[in-house]
Structure 1
C-alpha cells in the first residue's frame, strides 16, 4: 500500500492553508485507489513538529541527524511514498517555515512524487514555481497538474483575519483528482528506486 502525505505548508495560528488541506483530505478519502486499498492519505501539519530554524551541524545530504526534532521529522517524512503540498503564497514564494522543514532532510524526499495545491490572491501559482525547483533538487518527481485556489473565488471570506470557508469552483475537484491520480501513479512507479536505495544503504560495507 502506498502512503501519501498531505502536508500543511504553513504554521500560522490562523491558516487558510489548513482549511484547504482539509478539503484535499476529504476529496482524497473518496479516491478510487483508497477504496481499493491501494493507497492511504495522511495529513501532516508542520505546526505539530515545532521545527526551529535549521540547526543541524551537518548538511542534510549526509543523513547524520543529531537532534530529536530532526529525527522525528525524518521518521515521518521517510515513511511516505509521495506528497501533496498545500501551500499559501507569501511575497511571491512559499512560506519560510515550509522551506526550513524541507531543508532539514534530504534522502527522505528522494525518489518520491510531489503534487501541489496552492492558494492566494493569485492562486498561489508563484509559490509553486519555487517549490517545484526545491523538490526537483531533492530528486522528487513533480507532477504536472496543479490546483490553484483563488482567495476571491474559491473561499468565502467575511473577515480577512480569519481562514474563512472553502468553496471551490466546480472545476477544482476534478483537477484535484487528476493531481492525485498522477501522484499515486508516480509514487508507485518510483518504488523500485526507493527499494534499491534502501537495500544499498542497508548492505554491509
Structure 2
C-alpha cells in the first residue's frame, strides 16, 4: 500500500484584513480534488510565534520557546508544503520568514510549492521563498501559481472583489503543474528519507 504524502497548506499572512484566505481556499480545493495527496491547512494565525530569539536553530540546539516547539511539531509531521505567499516590498511577509526561521530539521529534504499574489503575482516573494528554502535544505517545484496584474485587481476586495473562480482558467494549468511536481518530489523525498533513516 502506497502512503499518500501529507501536505500542509501554510497561510503566510496574519493581518486582520489579509487577502490570503481567498487564494488559500481555492488552492486547497485544487489539492483536495486529487487522490494522490492529503492536504491540511496550517494558519500562522494559530501559531503566535515570538520573533526568533533562540541560541541557534534547532539543528544545533533544541528550541526553548513552547510556541516554537509546537510549531516544529506541527510542521514536522508533513511531507511537503504549499505556501500561500503575499508579496510585501518585493519579499515574503515578516511573519512567514519568522516561521521559516523557527524550525530547521522539520523542513529538511521536503518539497514545497507556492501560490503567490500581488501586483506581479507575488513572483519576487516566491523567488525569495525559494532562496530561503534552499538554505533549509528543501526542494522547490519549478511551477507555482501567480495571481497578479488585472486578475489580482479583479479578485482583491479593494478591487473588483470577484470570486477567484472567475479568473481560474488562467490559474488552473499552473496549479496542476505545481501540484504534480509537488507530489513527485514528495514521493521521491519520502522514499529517500526512509532509505536513510
Q: TM-score, normalised by structure 1?
A: 0.87
1:110 Cα deviation from its structure 2 partner: 0.4
1:173 Cα deviation from its structure 2 partner: 1.5
Q: Which of residues 12, 16, 22 is equivalent to 1:13?
A: 16
For the pair 1:82 / 2:80, whether they are aligned, the reply is: yes
Contact 1:63–1:106 under 8 Å retained in 2:
no
Partner of 1:147: 145
Partner of 1:57: 55
Alpha-carbon separation, structure 2, partners of 1:158 and 1:99: 25
Q: Between 149-158 and 11-20, report the one with greater CA deviation.
A: 149-158
Contact 1:143–1:179 under 8 Å retained in 2:
yes
Q: Which of residues 93, 106, 109 is equivalent to 1:108?
A: 106
How many residues are paired up?
A: 192
Alpha-carbon separation, structure 2, partners of 1:6 and 1:96: 18
Unaligned runs of 5+ in 1: 34-38, 200-205
Unaligned runs of 5+ in 2: none
Write the mapping of 1:94-133 to structure 2, written as runs, cut at 5 A. Answer: 94-133=92-131
Q: Cα RMSD over matched residues?
A: 1.9
Contact 1:9–1:85 under 8 Å retained in 2:
yes
Contact 1:16–1:164 under 8 Å retained in 2:
no
Alpha-carbon separation, structure 2, partners of 1:158 and 1:49: 25
Contact 1:65–1:71 under 8 Å retained in 2:
yes
For the pair 1:189 / 2:192, whether they are aligned, the reply is: no
Q: Which of residues 4, 8, 24 is equivalent to 2:7?
A: 4
Contact 1:14–1:163 under 8 Å retained in 2:
no
Contact 2:19–2:156 under 8 Å retained in 1:
no
